[in-house]
Structure 1
């Protein structure tokens, strides 16, 4: 079914959003004609967008076809290493610069997300919104840009660590600790709380992958 054209978004953003939201998963083949029909755009901007996504390693070649890329163990470890450093910095800067209103929004997010504990995909989306709010609260546009790139690559992971038994409840407790450190303007505590949160998520994901071998 053809979707109406969205003037505010170009073909690149439309495809990227579809990958990010799980419409296209790692290993899925992307076909120009099908994408043009889905998004209601011509094939030329679709082709250019696919080339750009391939250059960014979000798509990979499978023979003559382009598929959504996936991350191997080493790539995932490298991504988490970068994410840990950048997220920790974002939390530290948020503790320094976040407004009272931004802190209130973070607190409300943690409270509201408890309703999603039995819905891992929805909780994963809420988790990304929570982290994005911290990024914005850092009030550092260059850091936000780099974290956006990291999160694009995070979309190449087929599963969410929040699907692990009991992880959602623990993650929300970790989120609350991060928010409280930011609210107290404790930069070191905010940095540590967020880095620890990412570390636990990484361990959880490694266990998930090991269980599938």
Structure 2
């Protein structure tokens, strides 16, 4: 009779989630033994996960150590260009292929998110869920896979643009336009609404970064 075993925790997913939720921030050093103890995972899968994250440029070498990578100004610009195009395409495809049930889920997310205004961390998590739902509604697995990679890189941003004053309400208004276009099966409008949403988020990000530099001087 076979003995059932508890499933092995996914070391890669655990570390990635810790970066995504801000437990580990850009510049933080990741120590293999400490990660193994924190997550209750043996060191071998931790080592393999760290190698995988380094390959994906989410971690970088600092001497013999690995630290959470940071995005410079050029990388940030490149990331938002790619994100805008891919997210816009996802919205266009969602306008064509989303089922009535998927549109209903987007509507319900949008309505529920109004209760989160004033809580930037909760809004950031809700924002990720909302975008992920649009990705899935595109019904294109290859696009979803590429967007997953883009959003992993977004985890390297130390702060969320939604934390900027007034940005939460603006975000919800922009989300509303995106959902309306998807619901109307208007691919061009959905593409433009989501591209505009990403562009506005990028402008906010640049302003936040400029203020941070000014404060540090």
How far apart, in 2, do the equivalents of 1:52 and 1:200 lie? 32
Please say if 1:149 is aligned against 2:149.
yes
Q: In the alignment, which residue of structure 2 is the partner of 1:13? A: 13
> Quick one: structure 1 residues 80 and 49, their matched pair in 2 at CA, closer, same or farther if it must change by over 3 Å?
same
Unaligned runs of 5+ in 1: none
Deviation at 1:7, TM superposition (A): 2.5
Q: In the alignment, which residue of structure 1 is the partner of 2:74? A: 74
Deviation at 1:44, TM superposition (A): 1.2
1:141-187 Cα deviation digits (max 9, x unpaired): 00000000000000000000000000000010000000000000000
Please say if 1:36 is aligned against 2:36.
yes
Q: In the alignment, which residue of structure 1 is the partner of 2:112? A: 112
Deviation at 1:43, TM superposition (A): 0.8
1:113-138 Cα deviation digits (max 9, x unpaired): 11111000110010000000000000
Instruction: Report the TM-score when normalising by structure 2.
Output: 0.94
Q: In the alignment, which residue of structure 1 is the partner of 2:193? A: 193
Q: In the alignment, which residue of structure 2 is the partner of 1:99? A: 99
How far apart, in 2, do the equivalents of 1:8 and 1:113 lie? 34
Instruction: Report the TM-score when normalising by structure 1.
Output: 0.96
> Quick one: structure 1 residues 210 and 184, their matched pair in 2 at CA, closer, same or farther if it must change by over 3 Å?
same
How far apart, in 2, do the equivalents of 1:143 and 1:203 lie? 25
Unaligned runs of 5+ in 2: none
How far apart, in 2, do the equivalents of 1:33 and 1:25 lie? 18
> Quick one: structure 1 residues 26 and 86, their matched pair in 2 at CA, closer, same or farther if it must change by over 3 Å?
same
How far apart, in 2, do the equivalents of 1:10 and 1:94 lie? 31
How far apart, in 1, do the equivalents of 2:8 and 2:171 lie? 34
Q: Does the 8 Å contact 2:26/2:156 carry over to 1?
A: yes
Q: Over the residues paired in the alignment, what is the CA RMSD in angstroms?
A: 1.2
Deviation at 1:11, TM superposition (A): 1.1
